[in-house]
Amino acid sequence: MFYWLHPGYLNVSRSQQNRTPMTLSPHATDVVLMVPVIDVNWLVYAPFDPGRDFRVDPPNVPQSIGDTREVLRILREFTGGKCILTPHSGTYCRTGYYEGEMLDVYCEAVQGGGELAVHLHEEIKGKGTRYTERDHVGAVFEDCRRRLLAAGIKPVAYRGGHYAYTPFMNELLPSADIHIDLSCSPGLNQPTREAIWVQSPCTGYYLPDNPRLAADGQNISSVFEIPIGCDGEGSAYRNILHIEQSEIDNLQRILAVLVGRAKRDGRRQIVHCLFHTGSVGRLEWVERFRRFLGHVPENGGTFVTATEAKAAYDAEVKDIAA
């Protein structure tokens, strides 16, 4: 049973929460809470890759509509519809995934048990990013949020493209009543992409004011981070639960690492896995996704929404404080 509890009502400070072990029953079977993150996108998007001449193909939104519905069908089969969709909005496709029939698809996802997040991609191919431009980021973020709200959808989280996250997002998100982030890849250090997660733990936690620095001595924000599942040995594709960029044996290995870490540390692991709607045309990737989704609940994992993951963390802290 998951229930909502804002950490402001707890007797334990957020800094203490981040260090408080979550006691596990020795018979617990759901030691990994996993949020399926579905990136609503198109296939060829390589603004940082000189080997492909920084290629960014035009998005095919009508194709994405069908692809997203197919992913949702798979999720209904394996997760009961639990997921969070993160539609792309960026330099080369600002509103295409936030208008028209795409919004109808998102409503279907929510009705089926899913959630929505704002997902910004502020890259300029071959040149850099605009993630540090607070006024720009604030404006495009708010436009996405308002478009979802106008469709009757309340976004519950944020996710930065290529794992980007700047400290001012800790203020921007709560000002929009969003208290969950999905941008983190633990250990990643890509300053030119504004993706610096060298101090991040490998499970869900509340972000310090500056997530790029050690949390000790910092205030802790109200933004709950759900990192991509990882083995803690690096930030390459082989180390993370990025479905398309791995193999099924490796994905299963990472899940086993998560289960082992949970039992060793005595606390449930709260993470996400990542799949893209643009991958639907690659049958081997879709089959890998299906196999992984089928493997998780039989091997120590439980699928949850982002809101449920945060609520589970808060509830466990409350139980310990009681």
- What is the set of domains in the chain, with CATH numbers? 7-321 (3.20.20.370)
| Max Cα-Cα span within the chain | 57
Amino acid at 243: I
Please tell me the distance from the alpha carbon of residue 116 to that of residue 260, in angstroms, as a whole number.
30
At 167-219, the pLDDT tens digits run: 999 999 999 999 999 999 999 999 999 999 999 999 999 999 999 999 999 99
d(CA 116, CA 71): 14
* Residues sharing a CB contact under 8 Å with residue 39, sequence separation 6 or more, in sequence order: 86, 88, 119, 274, 275, 276, 277, 278
Instruction: Give the separation between CA 32 and CA 263, rounded to whole angstroms.
Output: 10
Backbone torsion region of residue 169, taken as left when φ is above 0, otherwise alpha when ψ lies between -120 and 50, otherwise beta: alpha
With vertex at residue 64, the alpha carbon angle to CA 135 and CA 38, rounded to the nearest 5 degrees, is 65
Phi, psi of 171 (to 5 degrees): -95, -40
Token duo for residue 156: 């519950």
The distance in angstroms from the start CA to the end CA of the chain is: 18
- The reported pTM is 0.92
Q: Which two tokens stand for residue 52?
A: 């492909």
Q: What is the pLDDT of residues 95-119, one digit of tens each?
A: 999 999 999 999 999 999 999 999 9
Q: If we measure between CA atoms, which residue out of 168, 199, 186, 188 comes closest to residue 270?
A: 186
Which is more confidently placed, 151 or 12?
151
Per residue in 221-276, pLDDT (tens digit) is 999 999 999 999 999 999 999 999 999 999 999 999 999 999 999 999 999 999 99
Decide: 198 and 189 in contact? Cβ < 8 Å.
yes
